[in-house]
A and B are shown apart, each in its own frame.
Chain A
């Protein structure tokens, strides 16, 4: 085995001084492009024990604006952004997180405006509210803006990264139709807030698959919880009291624990097919207990990595052409959750 190559060997082979080799390898500048190329070429040929990819010098600052990571979904997002920050350090990309309070849209708008001043691009997970949407429209005109998880109607945004909610609703419809089977029956949709764009799309997708392929599954009620988890159980309980049998429940939003309690109270947990979204620890438990039958999940880790990748590409720090902005729809059952 040959001796390990040193800087001096590279200098000799490339016909430059050791100081020049040192300047190239440590990115200190002041070397002509021609010499730099020669040094890198010989360093590679002689297998110098150094990583020879160049690190871009200008730092790109990405700002993330999202809710406080108080619930498990946002906690995973936060951890993954921290991880992405470490992974993209080599591409000179820095990621900073900024949190807003969901109940204070005015402060959120101010925060968005402030964050914009310090960053080269933004990733936002913000609900559609008139106070923030005007600010966001202005921001999208100035910097690359990526919406995540829930889309916003901003014509100038760079991209939306997340589920194709209509396809997610269709998937729920396909599973509902197959699980309920030939006998068919009454189906109830529980929505959080009809004005949430993503939820509306899910409901539409769900309805169209039932109409196309499972006409014996009849959508008999759509109830709205105003995003209050306890209300979901009350509303479902009221329906179960009136009807002797509900074949399926599709929950678009929150409140699975209270729906599960209602199902148990009316002894419907065995035969009512219950499909919902987001694989949290609590829902895993309900899957394993057999109360929830299917959870559709949007893989927040993948969404973070995709959003960062898109922006890295926008700034010439990543060259993958085919980046899928609609993330895959995960299907979880008792056996794979």
Chain B
């Protein structure tokens, strides 16, 4: 039987002193992240008879940069990151949240540029804007960055965690086609701002599925609210007057309450299918009333954990496999919301 591995074997294999191996294994600190990673890697490879799952001694600081949590989606993210901070305590990862003002892009870029001084890695939810993107490129050159919810693929980020918006649009299209059935129907899309990439991708996916599988569903109109939820209802009212056959509405943005009221004004609440995104309290109520048929949602808690899981792996703080990534597109209807 081969000789049992001892600390000295690990020291030789990892190219460090015996004292360093001892410091890592007993969690005494004072070892660089890179040496620590090497020692643990070799201790595992050589099957050293020690519990290697102890907490790493160096604290890894992860900064989260996002909008102030004033809407339900960001409030859920805030809670999720507080919980994630608890969970990743054993990996010695500390999560700190930083909030920016959506209306102050210059200030946001400045805040972003400052974060690398205090953090080892960043998770960001940022709009596509030249000033922000320039600042982000500098950060990604210095440390791992994960984009969440909305991607900035050209920024040099380590990974994107969030919905595939084209698939979520396809899912909405599939539901619309099935709900309208063989008889088909006439459809209007309500978008917030055409220039938002996530909304554009949803619309594209939705159109594709109708063309592929549901030719009897015809797109009559695409409306734009310019991200003013209060005009959505008026726009839908107008389009239903022009196209009385409309029996399907796909909303990419906000303003569902107004849309539902417009449909009622036309007395069409029983035969019009409304599909929308993001499960907020208001939309839950509309689902329960039967006014909305389905809501497509993303799971912020899972996204937060996935982002941290990727970073933990990146820094060698997690030895097991990544949790299987959930198909991120959740569907909510009256009975499961």
> What is the interface of chain A, defined by CB distance below 8 A to chain B?
1, 26, 49-51, 53, 55, 76, 79-80, 82-83, 86-91, 167-168, 170-171, 173-175, 178-179, 181-182, 205, 209, 279, 293, 299, 301-302, 318, 320, 328-337
* Chain A residues with CB below 8 A from B170, complex form: 335-336
The residues in B between 85 and 112 inclusive whose CB is less than 8 angstroms from any CB of A are 86-92, 94
Contact check, B55 vs A90: say whether CB atoms are below 8 A apart: yes
Interface CB pairs A-B, < 8 A, 10: A53-B89, A170-B335, A179-B178, A181-B183, A293-B178, A329-B336, A331-B331, A333-B171, A333-B331, A336-B327
> In this complex, what residue of A is CB-closest to B208?
A335
Partner of A332, one of B89, B327, B336: B327
From known contacts A86-B319, A182-B181, A335-B209, infer whether A173 and B326 are also in contact, taking CB-CB under 8 Å.
Answer: no
Among B53, B94, B335, which residue has its beta carbon within 8 angstroms of that of A167? B335
Which residue on chain B has the smallest CB distance to residue A50?
Answer: B59
Cβ of B323 < 8 Å from any Cβ of A?
A: yes
Quick one: which of A87, A205, A332 contacts B90, CB cutoff 8 A? A87
Are B318 and A336 interface neighbours, CB within 8 A? Answer: no
Residues of B283-337 at the interface with A, using a CB-CB cut-off of 8 Å, are 293, 302, 318-321, 323-324, 326-327, 329-336
Given A301-B326, A320-B83: A328 and B336 within 8 A (CB)?
Answer: yes
The chain B residue sitting closest to A169, CB to CB, is: B335
Task: Provide the bound-state CA to CA distance between A301 and B293, in Å.
Answer: 28
Contact, CB under 8 Å: A90 / B90: yes
Given known contacts A76-B324, A79-B321, is B334 in contact with A174 (CB within 8 Å)? Answer: yes
- Residue of chain A at shortest CB distance from B302: A302
Partner of B53, one of A79, A89, A299: A89
Please give 4 more A-B residue pairs, beta carbons under 8 A apart, in addition to A49-B59, A88-B87, A335-B174.
Answer: A49-B58, A89-B54, A171-B335, A320-B83
Question: Closest Cβ of chain A: how far from B84's Cβ, in Å?
Answer: 10
Contacts of A335 in B (CB 8 A): 167, 170-171, 173-174, 209, 329
A213 to chain B, nearest CB (A): 8
Check A91–B329 contact: CB distance below 8 A. Answer: no
A179 to B58, CA, bound (A): 55
Number of interface residues of B (CB under 8 A): 50
Complex interface bits, B94-135 against A, C-beta within 8 A gives 1, otherwise 0: 100000000000000000000001000000000000000000
Q: Total number of A-B contacts with CB less than 8 angstroms? A: 110
For A333, what are the chain B residues with a Cβ–Cβ distance below 8 Å?
Answer: 171, 174-175, 331
**Given contacts A178-B293, A335-B171, A337-B327, A90 and B320 within 8 Å (CB-CB):** no
| A331 CA to B327 CA, complexed, in Å | 11
Q: How far is the CA of A279 from the CA of B330 in the complex (A)?
A: 13
Per-position 1/0 for B161-194, Cβ under 8 A of A: 0000001101101110011011100000000000
Q: Once the chains bind, are B333 and A175 in contact (CB under 8 Å)?
A: yes
Establish whether residues A80 and B335, one from each chain, have CB atoms under 8 Å apart when the complex forms.
Answer: no
Find out whether the CB atom of B182 lies under 8 angstroms from the CB atom of A336: no
A333 to B57 alpha-carbon distance, docked (Å): 45
Neighbouring B residues of A1 by C-beta, 8 Å: 117
Residues B181 and A181 in contact, CB atoms below 8 Å apart: yes
Residue from A83, A329, A337 within 8 A of B320 (CB atoms): A83
What A residues does B173 contact at CB under 8 A?
A: 335
B156 within 8 A of A: no
Bitwise interface map of B from 34 to 68 toward A, beta carbon under 8 Å scored 1, else 0: 00000000000000000001110111000000000
A175 — nearest CB in chain B belongs to which residue?
A: B333
B331/A336 in contact, CB under 8 A: yes
Report B-chain residues with C-beta under 8 Å of the C-beta of A82.
320
Chain B: minimal CB distance from A276 (Å): 16
Q: How far is the CB of A202 from chain B (nearest CB, A)?
A: 12
CB distance from B255 to the nearest CB of A (A): 24
B336–A167 CB distance below 8 A = yes
Evaluate contact between A336 and B178: CB separation under 8 angstroms.
no
One of B27, B89, B327 near A91 (C-beta < 8 A): B89
